[in-house]
């Protein structure tokens, strides 16, 4: 069945390549990735991992279509990896096939593969690291090292990978896999990240993976912070939104300087990131209830079906759906994906699919139907975490806690990515797409653990008794196969001493 699923996924992706040639671009992000690749310098906002892939593809092909092609192949490969990992772990093939369906056929996943954005590479590297870590009960040291390197590359592609790397180290400790494996994984993780931080320091005089962490956290406080507080310094007051509470912009409007006063641009450059970080710390510690309420509310809006999003968030939502004749998503935002030019240029060539055709109309309808709601992913991650905590004594003895640790790691990764995306950015559905790999894996392994443990508790099934037969047919079989021993017999010298 997996072959049929891959074939269907490949057919949809070929349709994408024909309908929206050569690829989609996205605002400032795509241009920044391409600029960093062209200048061979790290971006102050995003790590260089994705730009490195763009640089390689540019050197090999010189055509932007190679990016979308490579990413569509990554999407198909992820489905195969999920299937093979689960089958190797003893999960039934029909459940392994079902776990591979989201990444192979989800319309938003396929749409993002067509964008010149880092999500597909990040998800592929993360899945590779997890699969290598879980492939064997006791992996060899070289396999553990490869896993650490893959997780490090994921962290160098998107900063959300950094806390996920910490979760992997905790996983190895909980598994009691041995100090040598923990050391090898940590070293394989630290060398690429440490080397990148040294390179970043050469350009920005700071040992970090980016110089925007403070600004990201600052923009998250702009919707609730009270600017009349007395603990703000004069410089910090200048980056506090002047609009009254309840009339402020969406948070990332301030981050990118799209507000009327451009308060985020008053102190530009990586050197001032600490100013924004200090402001954010004071706002969060001084108003923790407002901060938690903001995060909880936005998380609910992210998973709430039919939420009437503001214009800017609605536009972001529509960009992750397949356009056709000016149509995009269900929101009223007049936003649609933008096509890239054929070369590795930092600008788009115009809106995609302004004229409806049979092919892009079919893809648009597919995109409106075959999409995994974020609410399903959130509920799935929570249920997988609960299933990992489910325990019976015989289950623990039979499975050794491996499936519990694996599903807990995957569910923890899923929830971390979801909450970090909401905490550090505006509500954006693309941040839920990596969960299409981790959540199905977590559910499949947790379910397998419970069903296998239940079978172990119940014990083996006794065979049904043979039907009665007549005495004549039974007697010869008893004599030849298992002689009848008399209840009592006289002692004999052949018995040996008592």
Please spell the DSSP secondary structure of 234-303, one letter per residue: HHHHTTS--SPTTSPPPHHHHHTT-SSS-GGGSS-SGGGHHHHHHHHHHHHHHSHHHHHHHHHHHHHHHH
pLDDT by residue for the chain (498 residues), tens digit each? 899 999 999 999 999 999 999 999 886 889 899 999 999 999 999 999 999 999 999 999 999 999 999 999 999 999 999 999 999 999 999 999 999 999 999 999 999 999 999 999 999 999 999 999 999 888 899 999 999 999 999 999 999 999 999 999 999 999 888 899 999 999 999 999 999 999 999 999 889 999 999 999 999 999 999 998 889 999 999 999 999 998 998 888 899 888 899 998 889 888 899 999 999 999 999 999 999 999 999 999 999 888 888 887 888 778 888 999 888 776 555 677 888 887 777 566 678 888 899 999 999 999 999 999 999 999 999 999 988 887 655 444 444 478 889 999 999 999 999 999 998 888 888 999 999 999 999 999 998 888 875 544 444 444 555 554 444 444 444 444 455 555 554 444 434 443
Domain map of the chain by residue range?
Answer: 213-304, 373-457
Q: Is 359 exposed, middle or buried (0-12, 13-18, 19+ CB in 10 A)?
A: middle
Strands across the sheet containing 24-25 = 24-25, 338-340, 348-351
Bridge partners, 324 (sequence order): 327
Q: Is 186 exposed, middle or buried (0-12, 13-18, 19+ CB in 10 A)?
A: middle
pTM: 0.87
């Amino acid at each position: 069945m997996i072959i049929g699923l891959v074939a269907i996924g490949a057919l949809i992706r070929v349709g994408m390549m024909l309908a929206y040639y050569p690829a989609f671009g996205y605002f400032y992000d795509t241009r920044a990735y391409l600029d960093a690749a062209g200048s061979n310098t790290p971006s102050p906002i995003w790590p260089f991992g994705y730009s490195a892939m763009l640089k390689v593809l540019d050197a090999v092909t010189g055509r932007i279509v190679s990016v979308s092609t490579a990413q569509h192949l990554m999407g198909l490969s992820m489905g195969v990896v999920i299937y093979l990992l689960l089958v190797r772990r003893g999960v039934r093939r029909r459940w392994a096939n079902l776990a591979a369906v989201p990444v192979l056929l989800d319309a938003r996943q396929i749409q993002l593969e067509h964008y010149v954005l880092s999500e597909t590479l990040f998800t592929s590297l993360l899945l590779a690291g997890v699969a290598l870590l879980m492939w064997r009960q006791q992996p060899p040291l070289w396999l553990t090292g490869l896993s650490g390197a893959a997780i490090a590359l994921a962290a160098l592609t998107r900063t959300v990978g950094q806390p996920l790397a910490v979760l992997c180290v905790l996983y190895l400790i909980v598994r009691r896999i041995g100090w040598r494996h923990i050391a090898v994984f940590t070293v394989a993780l630290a060398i690429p990240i440490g080397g990148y931080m040294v390179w970043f320091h050469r350009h920005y005089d700071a040992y970090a993976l980016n110089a925007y962490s403070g600004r990201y956290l600052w923009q998250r406080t702009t919707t609730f912070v009270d600017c009349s507080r007395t603990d703000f310094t004069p410089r910090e007051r200048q980056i506090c939104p002047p609009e009254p509470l309840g009339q402020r912009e969406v948070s990332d409007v301030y981050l990118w300087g799209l507000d009327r006063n451009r308060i985020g641009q008053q102190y530009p450059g990586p050197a001032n990131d600490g100013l924004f970080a200090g402001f954010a710390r004071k706002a969060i510690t001084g108003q923790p209830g407002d901060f938690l309420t903001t995060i909880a509310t936005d998380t609910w809006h992210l998973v709430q079906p039919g939420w009437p999003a503001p214009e800017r968030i609605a536009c972001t939502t529509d960009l992750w759906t397949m356009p056709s004749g000016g149509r995009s998503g269900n929101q009223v935002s007049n936003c649609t994906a933008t096509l890239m030019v054929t070369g590795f240029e930092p600008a788009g060539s115009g809106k995609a699919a302004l004229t409806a055709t049979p092919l892009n109309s079919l893809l648009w309808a597919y995109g409106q139907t075959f999409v995994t709601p974020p609410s399903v992913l959130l509920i799935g991650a929570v249920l997988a975490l609960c299933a990992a905590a489910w325990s019976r004594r015989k289950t623990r003895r039979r499975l050794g806690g491996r499936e519990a640790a694996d599903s807990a790691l995957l569910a923890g990764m899923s929830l971390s990515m979801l909450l970090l995306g909401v905490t550090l950015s505006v509500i954006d559905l693309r941040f839920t797409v990596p969960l299409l790999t981790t959540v199905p894996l977590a559910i499949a392994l947790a379910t397998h653990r419970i069903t296998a443990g239940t079978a172990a508790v119940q014990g083996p099934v006794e065979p049904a008794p043979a039907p009665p037969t007549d005495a004549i047919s039974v007697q010869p079989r008893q004599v030849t196969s298992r002689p009848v021993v008399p209840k009592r017999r006289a002692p004999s010298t052949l018995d040996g001493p008592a």
